[in-house]
Amino acid sequence: MDKKTWIIIAAIIAVFAGIIGYNIAFRSPDDSLSQIFPASEESGNLPENIDGDPNAPIIIFDYSDYQCEHCASFNNYLNQLVEEYDGKVAVVYRTFVQNYHANGTAAASAANAAAIQGYWKEYKDLLFANQNEWFYSDAATRQKQFEQYFTTVTDGKGDLTKFRADMLSDEVAAKIAFDRKLAEERNLTYTPYIDLGTTHIKETEMNANFLDIMREKINKLLENQE
């Protein structure tokens, strides 16, 4: 082949290599992360925290922070969707603690400790509802508050000693780290960050019309599954 032919072949190879490289570098992580992960050693052998039926046809993924004020507001919206679409919509809650929230990790530890005894949903809702109460608490005060919340949601029937131990356990620490890893793989920088299946809910959609926007999207997905 002459020099001109080799140049053309080299150019074609470069173009294809560039396309392949682009696809590898910019492949969306949605498909791999938009699933419910089983408990594993990496997650401290603790399962995902889920509100609703884990076998629901529509799964919402909520990357959130218990000390985030906006997360508290959207928690109410997501609870409403799970209730409205009984059995058809579930929410997978993944903790993504913002570094500037001094009590965020402790709150996540408390929520996961409550989850071990089967009270995650109730505890999560009470944490958000009382966020203003513990938001600026020091460590000692915060611990007393979190223990009181546990007593409240379990109606005094929970094992408080186990709750305290689980809050400090390697398993709970691993679960929080596992959730954070999933958030970082999505390159998240803010909370709440919400995916509807493999579709990200844009910040511009997270406004006063959020519920109507979500209902429209959910209804379309359900229609397509019929």
Q: Would you kindly state where each structural domain of the chain is located, as residue ranges?
A: 1-28, 34-225
User: What is the per-residue pLDDT for 15?
Assistant: 36
Beta strands in 35-102 (DSSP E): 49-51, 58-64, 89-95
pLDDT tens string 198-211:
999 999 999 999 99
User: What is the per-residue pLDDT for 9?
Assistant: 42
**pLDDT confidence bin for 219, thresholds 50/70/90:** very high
Residue 188 has pLDDT above 50, yes or no: yes
- Provide the angle, in degrees to the nearest 10, between the axes of the packed helices 104-116 and 170-185: 120
Beta strands in 65-169 (DSSP E): 89-95
The residue with tokens 């429209």 is 216
User: What is the per-residue pLDDT for 217?
Assistant: 98
Residue 226 has pLDDT above 80, yes or no: no
Task: For CA atoms 52, 54, 60, 64, give the dihedral sign.
Answer: positive
User: What three-state secondary structure class fits 94?
Assistant: strand
User: What is the per-residue pLDDT for 20?
Assistant: 32
Residue 4 has pLDDT above 90, yes or no: no
pLDDT tens string 10-34:
443 333 333 333 232 223 445 678 8
Average pLDDT, the chain: 89
Q: Which residue has the higher pLDDT, 145 or 31?
A: 145
pLDDT tens string 88-143:
999 999 999 999 999 999 999 999 999 999 999 999 999 999 999 999 999 999 99
Residue 5 has pLDDT above 80, yes or no: no
User: What is the per-residue pLDDT for 32?
Assistant: 79
User: What is the per-residue pLDDT for 26?
Assistant: 29
User: What is the per-residue pLDDT for 225?
Assistant: 86
**pLDDT > 70 in the chain, percent:** 86
User: What is the per-residue pLDDT for 33?
Assistant: 85
Residue 156 has pLDDT above 90, yes or no: yes
Residue 151 has pLDDT above 60, yes or no: yes
Residue 1 has pLDDT above 60, yes or no: no
pTM of the model: 0.85
- Length in residues, the chain: 226
User: What is the per-residue pLDDT for 36?
Assistant: 96
Q: Is 5 exposed, middle or buried (0-12, 13-18, 19+ CB in 10 A)?
A: exposed
Tokens of 220: 């379309």
Asked whether the beta carbons of 74 and 194 are under 8 A apart, the reply is: yes
Fold held by 34-225 = Glutaredoxin (3.40.30)
